[in-house]
Each structure stands twice: as C-alpha cells, then as structure tokens.
Structure 1
Amino acid sequence: MMVCHGLKKPLQVAFGNGSFTGVCDATTDKGGAGEGFRPHELLEAALGSCLVMVMTKYAAAHGLPLAWATVTVTLDRSDPDVAAYGCEVSLEGNLTNAQRQKILRAARVCPVRRTLGCRTVVTESVRR
C-alpha cells in the first residue's frame, strides 16, 4: 500500500509505504516545481524495476552468468486509448544467445507487466 499526500508546493506529492518515501511532482510547464518524479515516470520505473528483478532472479536460479540487467522504459501516450510501453533491455555477462533468450522469456511473466495488461478498476472512498 502506498500513502500519498500533498505538500506545500503546488502539485508536489509525497508518497511512502511506511519504510521508504519519495516525491512526485509535475514539470514546471504543467504548474509544478519539477522537483520529483512525474506520475507516469513512476509507472515506467515500476515496470523496469520488476523486469530487472525477474530477469536477475531467473538467471541466479538457473546458474546463468548474468552480471547485471538494465531496462530503459519509455511510455508512449500519443494515442489516448493506448499506453504503449517500450522496453530496451541490456543483459551484461558472459551469456550465450540461448541464455539471453531464456532470460528474456522469463521477463514476460513480470508481475507488473501482467498487472499493466489487465483491465483497470479504480475505486474511491472519502475519509473525513
């Protein structure tokens, strides 16, 4: 669960899970101060982080020589009805092509990727 609350600067929001915190903000051209992650950047970070974790875990479980994985995620919202996530993956280590393909296949079951592919339902309740 994440708790989000507005800060004194317009459009700045602090968020946290009880152990870690961060700041979200809009860019200056949108009325924010540009001093934090934009909301859509947090979506990109969630997907990229999950992909790296899944690939790293898979490689370790199968004894594959993955030194590290890097994922660059770009969200394209140019079509208002489609959220298109482009993921550029870099796998470092002494890997064969077959090992790279296995790691990439494992990434397809990334929980965040699967969640983003689901129908989304948002419910709201108001607390006083």
Structure 2
Amino acid sequence: MHTPITLISERNRTFRHRIEVESVEALYADAPKVLGGEGQDPDPHDYFDMALGSCKAITVQMYAKRKEWPLEAITVTIARDDSKEREGAYGLDVRLDFQGPLDDAMKQKLLDISSRCPVQRLMTEATVTIETRLASATDASSQ
C-alpha cells in the first residue's frame, strides 16, 4: 500500500487545500472562481486530467527509451468536455506531439502505447472502489 495523500484546508481560504504527498513540494487544489474558489490552483478535475496526461507521457518515454528510439520530448495537450458530466459523460481529447527524428511507424506505435498507460486503464477498464469514513479519535491523535 502507498503512503496516503493528505488534503488539508487552508485557513482563511474558502475552498483551497494543501495537498501533502510524500517527498513532494507544496501542491494545492482549489475550486474554480465560478464555484466560489479563488481559481489560483488546479481544481480536482484538472488533477484528474493531469494524471492521464502525465501517465501517457511517462509511458511513452519509458517505451521509447527501452526501444532506444530517438524521442527527444513529448507534449501532451488535454482538452476537457465536461458539459454532460451530470449525465455521466466526461470527454477528454488528448493530443500527443512527439519531438525527435521518429518515423511514422514509430509515432503510431507510441500513440498505441500511450493508450495502455496505467491511469487510462484505471479510468476506462478498472472497477474502482471508494470507502469514505470519518476519521476516528485514534486516527486524529496519530497525526
């Protein structure tokens, strides 16, 4: 099991939270201004989308490195369509831009590999269970 990620409300901030991840500098999340947040930090949907983009980029880079292909860099751009989220539809349009002297067959293979990243599989194939409960008094005293 991984070390837990902790979110802590920022005092005097409406919806802003500090996110603590082991050995990572400060991360924050906030609600968009339209929902009453300050809009200075990524919102939870942004982090969801970023998880997919970063996973695709890392998966592609690892594959290219293992194959010793000349992938110099990758840019991942994600456009979100959440207009039907309340009806259960959430769309992500992901564009990959590979830099380096890659031929078309290499680019196509890297595109295919990007669809196999673990986060995309979690988002599209896995059954995710979530148990939400109140922290007990013993949990609070151990922090």
Task: Please say if 1:36 is aligned against 2:72.
Answer: no
Amino acid at match of 1:82: A
The equivalent residue for 1:114 is 121
| Cα-to-partner distance string for 1:65-97 (whole Å, 9 max, x where unaligned) | 101111111221112311211101100100000
Give the letter aligned to residue 51 of structure 1: K
Please show how residues 1-128 of structure 1 align to structure 2 within 5 Å: 1-8=4-11, 9-20=13-24, 21-80=26-85, 81-117=88-124, 118-128=126-136
What are structure 1's unaligned runs of at least 5 residues?
none
Shift of 1:36: 0.9
CA RMSD, Structure 1 to Structure 2 (Å): 1.2
TM-score normalized by structure 2?
A: 0.84
Amino acid at match of 1:4: L
More strand by share: 1
Unmatched segments (≥5 aa) in structure 2: 137-143
Distance 1:74 1:51 in 2: 15
Q: Which has the larger radius of gyration?
A: 2
User: Matched residues in 1 for 2:72 and 2:54: separation?
Assistant: 16
> How many residues end up aligned between the 2 structures?
128
- Give the Å deviation of 1:18: 2.1
SS in 1 for 2:106: helix
Give the drift of 1:113: 0.5
TM-score (norm 1): 0.93
Distance 2:127 2:101 in 1: 39
Tell me the CA shift for residue 111 of structure 1. 0.4
